[in-house]
Structure 1
Amino acid sequence: MTIGQRRVKRVTQSDVAAMAGVSTAVVSAVISPKPGKTIRVGEEAEKRVRAAMEALGYAPNVVAQSLAGGQRNIIGVFTYEAVFPSDRENFFYPFLLGIEQGAMKRGQDLLLFTSSSLDRGPRSIFPAGTNRMGVADGAILLGEEPDKSELKRLYDTGFPFVTIGRRIAEGADLNWVAADYAAAVEDVIARCAALGHRKLKFLGSSRVREQNEDREQGFLRHGQQGLELSVERFDPAAIDAAWTRQCLAEGHTVVLTETFAHATALERQIVERGGSIPGTISVVALAAPLTVSADVERWTRISVPREDMGERAVEQLIARIRAPEDDIANITLPCGFVPGETLKAI
């Protein structure tokens, strides 16, 4: 946490009442209207309460309303993916296994949020303006590209959460568990150099997120003496015959691709030229595909400790729930190197 940054507390009914200019009893009556209640809430007062709830990001805690306060030992899991990763071949599935293992070890129940989506557009933490995850003590957020404005809003409410993957949102001190992509790519470069490669190209995605920055940083930092390193970023569809011809003419002997889509697109161009990988040029994939196939095994690549990341995210979240006043302590876990058939010595 940066010096002078004040940690926000979780929004309560008292906060809503203060903003709306009503008593907490009125807020409670709006949230949980029951027949026979003595408190009657006027239309204007109800409007002010609901407006305050949305402005503050308050979510009615339906579990706490039925239990006598305290923690419920319930962890929420939210994913921004359009389909919840229940397929074993899905890239995100191992994260869920790790989360489940971590929850079981620590006596926590899991609550999966699979319906917090709008009729159109991406999933939202705040459908209809409120955080439905408030029924849990805290939550783990999973997905390729979370909405940064939602992360900031969730942080401002004081709701405990941990993201899987390094995330930065302006004005928020986020808690995350991430893979050490920078060190993994740096290791790949050292292995390529040991095999005689001297001219290496990093071929990355056009959309740059935190994990993309980390891979590029690992590619460029601590460069080996005598190595020529270059970076290009564009979509896989832009890998055409002209680009491939120029890449080879410039003398590159290995390409580090940020996605499997880049790797397979490059291979198609090489094959159309009558060449092969690694016969014509070597390729190392720096990320796993979102859907695993049998073809993946032959590629030289890095591996991400996904189950371990899921379990450590549970550990981090429980620590955040129990001691919200403590400083953020983010975790970066090492990746592995998987030898394959697409990298050869020269």
Structure 2
Amino acid sequence: MAVTIKDVAKVANVAPSTVSRVIANSPRISEKTKERVREVMDQLGYHPNFIARSLASQSTRAIGLVMPSSTDVVFQNPFFPTVLTGLSEGAHSKQYALHMTTGKTEDEIFDGVVAMVQGGRVDGVVLLYSKVEDRVIAYLKERNFPFVVIGKPFKDDENTSYVDNDNFKAGKEVTEHLIQLGHDRIAFIGGNLDLVVTVERLLGYEKALRNSGIHLEDNYIVNDEFLRESGQDAVEVLLSLDQPPTAMVVADDLMALGVLNKLDEMGIAVPQDVSIVSFNNVLIAEMARPPLTSVDINIFDLGYQAAKSLIQIIENPNEPIKRIIVPFKIVTRYSCGHPKDYKEVLV
């Protein structure tokens, strides 16, 4: 026979209404009482019927996750499992479930979001990307539906809740790192220019070059998807130039792995011949040969903060707009060095 709230209340020596409030994590219940009731729930093997509770409260206690339209990127790039882990932990801490879109094209993604919202399947939505043009955001705003973006919105960011890094600053600082090593032929290998994260990192790269009086070469900028193959293709393009770069800012660790693979095939040594800095600092960066200097953007925290912020908005419609900037740090490893013709200036 299934264990009920009344069974839990009897063993915990509290009222059934107290058990219900503990399940809802009500602030009206003391932490001591919550702990006692939860211990009894575990002891008796009681699991709340969230479906029944949702019908009664008109709440699904579920968060919708909107993925990028390119499934290759989602399932190949380590960024997404890490950010999903953060989202999952943030949602689980407030007893919310996750509901993921499964479309392969932008139209399918949009239709999936409409189905989630109009079908009452979720209480709010997290977008795991930020695009220059995105009708999903326009739709959610039109319906006044709770949502949070992982990434800085391209438009109306002051009126949109989001969680992001300062990608402009990060792009600028990694480029300055290479300039300080003596490089003045620095390439940028980025993702799709429809993604705001690519635009922000590219602008930071360009700003660092201008500040240092280094001429910006359009041929040194290559953009594609955040995939290993994209990094390989970019290297072929860049090293075919009359004056190939001596250093590369690569906007993603998976792309950087492709860069390393192609350079190794071509017999070009890192960092002796070419220096590389990358972004995300996933396990790939540490295990690459040589290990990559990479920007740690705290991917887990991006997901955790997004889930936490969205739940606050769901549970309090008067919650102010949230603009959370997660700090980053450059993790220096062995993929950067001085250019071959570097001569130290003695002061």
| TM-score (normalizing by structure 2) | 0.64
Q: 1:109 to 1:255 in 2, by over 3 A?
A: same
For 1:148-297, what aligned pairs fall within 5 Å after superposition? Answer: 148-168=134-154, 173-205=159-191, 207-221=193-207, 223-231=210-218, 232-235=221-224, 236=230, 238-239=233-234, 243-246=238-241, 249=243, 252-260=245-253, 262-268=255-261, 270-287=263-280, 294-295=287-288
Equivalent AA in structure 1 for residue 331 of structure 2: V
Distance (Å, rounded) in 2 between the aligned partners of 1:241 and 1:138 = 43
- Structure 1 residue ranges without an equivalent (≥5): 1-61
Equivalent AA in structure 1 for residue 99 of structure 2: F
Match of 1:101 among 78, 89, 104: 89
1:78 counterpart residue number: 65
Question: In 2, are the aligned partners of 1:75 and 1:140 still within 8 Å (CA)?
Answer: no
Equivalent AA in structure 2 for residue 275 of structure 1: I
Q: 1:210 to 1:68 in 2, by over 3 A?
A: closer
Distance (Å, rounded) in 1 between the aligned partners of 2:272 and 2:128 = 38
Corresponding pairs, count: 276
Distance (Å, rounded) in 1 between the aligned partners of 2:211 and 2:258 = 28
Q: 1:134 to 1:260 in 2, by over 3 A?
A: same
Deviations 1:70-118 (A, max 9, x none): x66x24141426499799x83222223322333354xx2222224x446
Q: How far 1:146 sits from its partner (Å)?
A: 10
1:67 aligns with 2:67: no
Secondary structure of 1:334 counterpart? coil
1:124 aligns with 2:112: no
Deviations 1:2-27 (A, max 9, x none): xxxxxxxxxxxxxxxxxxxxxxxxxx
Q: How far 1:293 sits from its partner (Å)?
A: 8.8
Question: In 2, are the aligned partners of 1:256 and 1:283 still within 8 Å (CA)?
Answer: yes
- Structure 2 residue ranges without an equivalent (≥5): 1-50, 225-229, 343-347
Question: In 2, are the aligned partners of 1:163 and 1:176 still within 8 Å (CA)?
Answer: yes
Distance (Å, rounded) in 2 between the aligned partners of 1:283 and 1:199 = 12
Deviations 1:215-266 (A, max 9, x none): 012112254434444451244365465640426x36x331112244653454
Q: 1:163 to 1:277 in 2, by over 3 A?
A: same
Equivalent AA in structure 1 for residue 212 of structure 2: Q
Distance (Å, rounded) in 1 between the aligned partners of 2:304 and 2:74 = 16
Distance (Å, rounded) in 2 between the aligned partners of 1:101 and 1:146 = 29
Match of 1:319 among 312, 317, 327: 312
Q: How far 1:210 sits from its partner (Å)?
A: 0.3
Distance (Å, rounded) in 2 between the aligned partners of 1:94 and 1:226 = 38
Q: 1:295 to 1:77 in 2, by over 3 A?
A: farther
Superposition CA RMSD, Å: 3.9
Deviations 1:41-95 (A, max 9, x none): xxxxxxxxxxxxxxxxxxxxx87873155x66x24141426499799x8322222
Percent of residue pairs identical: 19
Q: How far 1:214 sits from its partner (Å)?
A: 0.8
Question: In 1, are the aligned partners of 2:66 and 2:113 still within 8 Å (CA)?
Answer: no
Q: 1:295 to 1:324 in 2, by over 3 A?
A: same
From the two aligned structures, give the one with the greater helix fraction: 2
| TM-score (normalizing by structure 1) | 0.64
